[in-house]
Amino acid sequence: MADPQDVKDAEPAPAPTERRPLPGAEPAALTTGRVRDARVRPAPKVPSWVLKIIMAVTGTVFALFVLVHMIGNLKIFMDPEHLNTYAYWLRTAFEPLLPYEGLLWIMRIVLLVCLVAHIAAAVMISSRARASRGTHKRRGMTNLRSFAARNMLVTGTVLLAFIIFHLLDLTLGKAVAPSGYQHIENGQAYAYENVVASFSRWPVAAFYMFALLVLFVHLAHGLWTVVQDLGATGRRTRAVGLFLAGAIPLAILLGNILIPIAVLTGVVK
């Protein structure tokens, strides 16, 4: 057994080093284990759960829109007149209850409102996420699922750029539109001719195909997030949600990507 005298003779422990005070920290952090009582943020005016529901609902509107849009696009494989008649019908649908282009303008306004709300909520949510995560970012996530999740802002920005390009190309017929773009006149739409003219330029067709892949990634993770945001906790509901979150984006991808491929390979001309 050690003699107690030995302990006394041992060198005195070095004095603890001066500790700098942390702003907002209780001085006794090292003894109580409590560093601060201050929250990361005050209670937000618009709570994050509301923002997430806004994103989920507006995102679902977009998903349903692109699904219907894709089904309409498939008419290109029937015959030119079929697609052109459909394009003109979209303008005269529900006349005389709605005015000319009434249905289109209702959809445009709804989609625009959804777009503004979706982007605003995304910006607020990601800034809150950064603040809550703090300075040390999560690293080491390598799987495919987290790739989609991590890149939602990136894929979303690409999609926004694509939407602008697509509207200029095939709706407004401006700037990036093919040189032979034909506007609707005398009850005749030229949707078929315009699509073929546009996709005959291979860089444009490539951009459409790239945007469709980006849409798939964005939508697959987005729709799976809708399942969480709208509170689906049941085992079966979640299984159905997971299936739809894969099946709907896949259908949209395949249905649409066939069109530039068909134009480039000369199947549709």
Partner 1 sequence: MRLTLEVWRQTDPADAGRFETHVVDDATPEMSVVELLDRLNESLVEDGREPFAFESDCREGICGACGVTVDDRPHGPQPNTPSCHQRLSSWTDGQTVRIEPLRSGAYPVVRDLVVDRSALDRIVQAGGHVAIQAGTAPDADTTPVDHALAEMALDFAACIGCGACVAACPNGAAHLFVGSKLTHLASLPGGREERGKRARAMIAEMEQDFGPCSSFGECADVCPAGIPLAAIAAVNRERMRVVLRGKND
Note the residues at the interface with partner 1 (CB under 8 A): 17, 19-22, 25, 29-30, 33-37, 39-44, 47-49, 51-53, 125, 128-129, 131-141, 145-146, 149-150, 152, 221, 224-225, 227-235, 238
Shortest CA distance to 66 belongs to which of 211, 237, 178, 241? 211
By beta-carbon proximity to partner 1, the closer residue of 225 and 256 is 225
Q: Which residues have a Cβ under 8 Å from the Cβ of 174 and sit 6 or more positions away?
A: 168
Helices (H), the chain: 4-9, 29-32, 48-73, 80-92, 102-133, 144-150, 152-166, 191-199, 202-229, 235-264
Least spacing, CB of residue 67 vs partner 1, in Å: 21
Nearer to partner 1, 127 or 171 (CB): 127
Polymer length of the chain: 269
**By C-beta, is 50 or 78 nearer to partner 1?**
50
Q: How far apart are CA 70 and CA 256, in angstroms?
A: 6
- The Cα 207–Cα 253 span in angstroms is 14
CB 223 within 8 A of CB 245: yes
Alpha-carbon distance of 193 to 212, in angstroms, equals 21
Q: At its nearest, how many Å lie between partner 1 and the CB of residue 233?
A: 5
SS3 letters for 66-80?
HHHHHHHHHHHHCCH
CB of 149 to partner 1, least distance (A): 5
- Smallest distance from partner 1 to CB 137, Å: 7
226: nearest Cα among 256, 249, 255: 249
Q: CB-wise, 233 or 265, nearer to partner 1? A: 233
Shortest Å distance, C-beta 76 to partner 1: 35
Handedness of CA 186, 165, 57, 75 (dihedral sign): positive
CB-wise, 40 or 97, nearer to partner 1?
Answer: 40
- Burial classification of residue 223, based on how many CB atoms lie within 10 Å of its CB (0-12 exposed, 13-18 middle, 19 or more buried): buried
C-beta closer to partner 1: residue 135 or 186: 135
Write down the least CB distance from residue 57 to partner 1, Å: 12
Closer to partner 1 by Cβ: residue 42 or 187: 42
Q: How far is the CB of 222 from partner 1 (least distance, A)?
A: 9
